Amino acid sequence: MSDVLNQSDIDSLLSALDDGDLVEETDRPSIFSRRRKRDLDLIEIKPYDFKRPERVSKDQMQALQQLHENFARNFGAALSGFLRMIVEVHIANCEQMTYGEFIAGLPNPTSFNLINVDQLDGQLCLELSPLIIYPIIDRLLGGNNRDLFIPQRPLTMIEQRLIGQVIVRAMNALTEAWDGVRELTFTAGDSESNPHLVQIVPPNEVVVVVTFELKMANRAGAVNLCIPFKVIEPIMGDLNAQQWFSSGKATDSEALAQRLAQNLSRATLTVTGVLAETSMTVRDLLALSRGDLITTEKPASQPAVLMVEDEKKFVCHLGQIDGSRALRVVKPYTFEDRV
C-alpha cells in the first residue's frame, strides 16, 4: 500500500470530516520496562523536577531525622539546666531543598550562625528565630517573658554573648548526636543578622534543612539547622538507615559498656575499715586527749567491716603486712552478718 494519498483519498477524508464520520484514534500512553508493557492503572507515577534533584535517599533522610531527634532531646535538656526552666525541643520538619529557597524563607534580622566541622570540608548553619531569642535573653537577665516585646533589629554585643552560650550547648549536643555515625567536632563560627549576606554554598545547591520547634513557658520559636549535601557527602554511606540501625542495636550497648567501664576504672572511691563501734557521752568526748585509749566490747579477733563510700561492702579480718595494718577480705557483706 502506498504511503502517498492521491486526490480521491484526500477528498474522501475531507468529506468524512465534514459529515462527522471520522473518528480520531488515540493510543493510550503506556510504559515499557524490563517486564515488557505495563498498565498505567497499576503504576504510581510521581512528578520529578530535574531542577531540584533529590540527592538524599529516603533511608538517609530517615536516619538524619532519627539522629537529630537525639540532638533535640539533648539540646532541650541542656537548655533546661541552663535557663532553670522546662524547655521542650522537637523536630517539626525535615526536608531537602535548595540553599536559595532556605535563605528566602528566613526572617531578617535573625540570628544566623555558621558551624565549622573539623573533619569535613565546608560549613553548616544554625538559625534561631527572634521569637525565641529574646525570650531566652529576657530569661537570662531575670525577666518573666509576660509583656516581652520582640524588636525588629539586630542583636547587640551583649545579646550576642548571651546567645553564644546557647550556641555552645547546641554544638555540644550536635557533637554527641553525630557520635553514633562518625566522630565529628562541631564548633561555632561567625554570626550574622542578615542571612542574605552569607553564602556558604551556591543558591541552587541541595541542602537538608531540619526545623526544630523550641518551647519555653508561654513562648515558642523555630530553630533551623541547614546541612549542605556536599559537606556531608563523604559520610553519606554511614547514614544508610538499615545499616545504621541494625549495627547500632548490636554495637551501641557493647560500646557503651566499654566506655562506662573505662570511665569507671579511673574513678576514685573512699574506702574505710570499721573495726568497732561504741558510745560515749559528750563529757567523755571532750575530755579525750592524745594517747587516750577507747575500749569497746568487741574482741580484736572478731571480723571488721570494709565500707566503700559509707556503704558496707565486705567482711574482713584485721592483720598486718609489711609493717602496716591491713584488712583481708573474707566475703561480701550481707544483712545477716552481725559485725
- Among residues 226, 171, 157, the alpha carbon closest in space to that of 195 is found at 226
- Report how far residue 300's alpha carbon sits from residue 302's, in angstroms, rounded to the nearest whole number: 5
- Report how far residue 288's alpha carbon sits from residue 283's, in angstroms, rounded to the nearest whole number: 9
What grid cell was written down for 299? 574482741
Which residues lie closer than 8 Å to 234 by C-beta, 6 or more apart? 120
What is the structure's pLDDT at 223?
A: 92
Q: What is the pLDDT of residues 124-157, one digit of tens each?
A: 999 999 898 998 998 888 887 777 888 888 888 9
Mean pLDDT, range 111-120, rounded to an integer: 90
C-alpha triplet 67, 177, 207: angle, nearest 5°: 55
What is the structure's pLDDT at 54?
A: 63
- Report how far residue 166's alpha carbon sits from residue 139's, in angstroms, rounded to the nearest whole number: 12
Mean pLDDT, range 251-278, rounded to an integer: 80
In CATH, what class is 58-245?
alpha beta
Can you name the residues that pair with 207 across neighbouring β-strands? 97, 228
- Among residues 115, 135, 139, the alpha carbon closest in space to that of 127 is found at 115
Mean pLDDT, range 192-211, rounded to an integer: 89
Query: What single letter denotes the amino acid at residue 13?
Result: L
Contact between residue 339 and residue 327 where contact means Cβ atoms under 8 Å apart: no
Going by pLDDT thresholds of 50, 70 and 90, the confidence category of residue 241 is very low
- Report how far residue 135's alpha carbon sits from residue 147's, in angstroms, rounded to the nearest whole number: 10
Q: Are strands 111-117 and 186-192 parallel, antiparallel or unpaired?
A: antiparallel
Which residues lie closer than 8 Å to 199 by C-beta, 6 or more apart? 99
Question: Considering only 176-190, 253-267, 270-284, which range has the smallest mean pLDDT?
Answer: 253-267
- Report how far residue 169's alpha carbon sits from residue 76's, in angstroms, rounded to the nearest whole number: 10
- Report how far residue 137's alpha carbon sits from residue 120's, in angstroms, rounded to the nearest whole number: 32
Mean pLDDT, range 241-270, rounded to an integer: 67
Torsion of CA 232, 97, 190, 172, to 10 degrees: -50
Contact between residue 85 and residue 55 where contact means Cβ atoms under 8 Å apart: no
- Report how far residue 88's alpha carbon sits from residue 217's, in angstroms, rounded to the nearest whole number: 9
What is the structure's pLDDT at 36?
A: 54
Mean pLDDT of the chain: 82
Phi first, then psi, for residue 215 (nearest 5°) are: -120, 135
Which helix (H) or strand (E) is 297 found in, with range? none
- Among residues 321, 288, 325, 290, the alpha carbon closest in space to that of 304 is found at 325
What is the structure's pLDDT at 65?
A: 87
Question: What is the percentage of the chain residues whose pLDDT exceeds 70?
Answer: 84
Torsion of CA 100, 208, 235, 169, to 10 degrees: 110
- Report how far residue 269's alpha carbon sits from residue 242's, in angstroms, rounded to the nearest whole number: 42
- Domain positions in the chain are 58-245, 269-277+298-339
What is the structure's pLDDT at 242?
A: 45
What grid cell was written down for 334? 550481707
Question: What is the percentage of the chain residues whose pLDDT exceeds 90?
Answer: 15
Mean pLDDT, range 180-190, rounded to an integer: 86
What is the structure's pLDDT at 125?
A: 93
Going by pLDDT thresholds of 50, 70 and 90, the confidence category of residue 21 is low
- Among residues 134, 93, 78, 77, the alpha carbon closest in space to that of 226 is found at 93
Decide if pLDDT at 83 tops 80: yes
CA distance to 62, 186, 209, 234, 305, per residue, from 206 (Å): 17, 21, 10, 15, 67
